[in-house]
Amino acid sequence: MERRKLKDICLTCISLIALVVLWVIVSNSKPDFFPTPQATWERFLKMAETPISKTTIIGHILISLKRVLTALVLAVASGIGIGLIMGWSKKMNAVLGPILTALRPIPPIAWIPLVILWFGVGEFSKVLLVFIGAFFPVVLNTATGVSMVDPMYLNVGRVYNANTFQMLCHVVMPAALPAIMAGVKIALSSGWMVVVAAEMIASKSGLGFLITRGNESYDVALVLCGMILIGLVGAILSAVFTLMERWLCPWMEKKNG
- What residues from 95 to 154 belong to the interface with another protein (CB under 8 A)? 95-99, 102-114, 116-118, 152-153
Residue 65 touches another protein, criterion: CB under 8 A: no
At its nearest, how many Å lie between another protein and the CB of residue 225?
A: 11
Binding residue for another protein (CB under 8 A) from 83, 145, 183, 208?
A: 208
In contact, 164 and 107? CB cutoff 8 Å: no
Query: Whose Cβ is closer to another protein: residue 49's or residue 250's?
Result: 250
Min dist CB 97 to another protein, Å, is: 7
Contact between residue 71 and residue 131 where contact means Cβ atoms under 8 Å apart: yes
- Residue 200 is a binding residue for another protein (CB under 8 A): yes
Toward another protein, which CB reaches closer, 76 or 111?
A: 111
Nearest approach, Cβ of residue 43 and another protein (Å): 14
Closest CB 235 distance from another protein, rounded Å? 4
Which part of the chain contacts another protein (CB under 8 A), choosing from 37-45, 70-78, 79-87, 206-214? 206-214
171: contact with another protein by CB under 8 A? yes
77 touches another protein by CB under 8 A: no
- The full 3-state SS of the chain, as one line of letters, equals CHHHHHHHHHHHHHHHHHHHHHHHHHHHHCCCCCCCHHHHHHHHHHHHHCCECCECHHHHHHHHHHHHHHHHHHHHHHHHHHHHHHHHCHHHHHHHHHHHHHHCCCCHHHHHHHHHHHHCCCHHHHHHHHHHHHHHHHHHHHHHHHHCCCHHHHHHHHHCCCCHHHHHHHHHHHHHHHHHHHHHHHHHHHHHHHHHHHHHHCCCCCHHHHHHHHHHCCCHHHHHHHHHHHHHHHHHHHHHHHHHHHHHCCCCCCCCC
Nearer to another protein, 18 or 49 (CB): 18
Q: Assess 68 for contact with another protein (CB under 8 A).
A: no
- Identified binder of another protein from the candidate list 1, 2, 3, 15, rule CB under 8 A: 15
CB 69 within 8 A of CB 61: no
Residues 220 and 229: their CA atoms lie apart, in Å, by 14
If one asks whether residue 159 binds another protein (CB under 8 A), the answer comes out as yes
Distance in Å, CB of 162 to another protein, minimum: 5
Write each residue from 209 to 248 as x if it is in contact with another protein (CB under 8 A), else as -, in one continuous string: --xx-xx----x--xx-xxx-xxx-xx--x----------
Q: CB nearer to another protein: give 118 or 124.
A: 118
Cβ 69 to another protein shortest distance, Å: 17
Q: What is the C-alpha end-to-end distance of the chain, expressed in Å?
A: 20
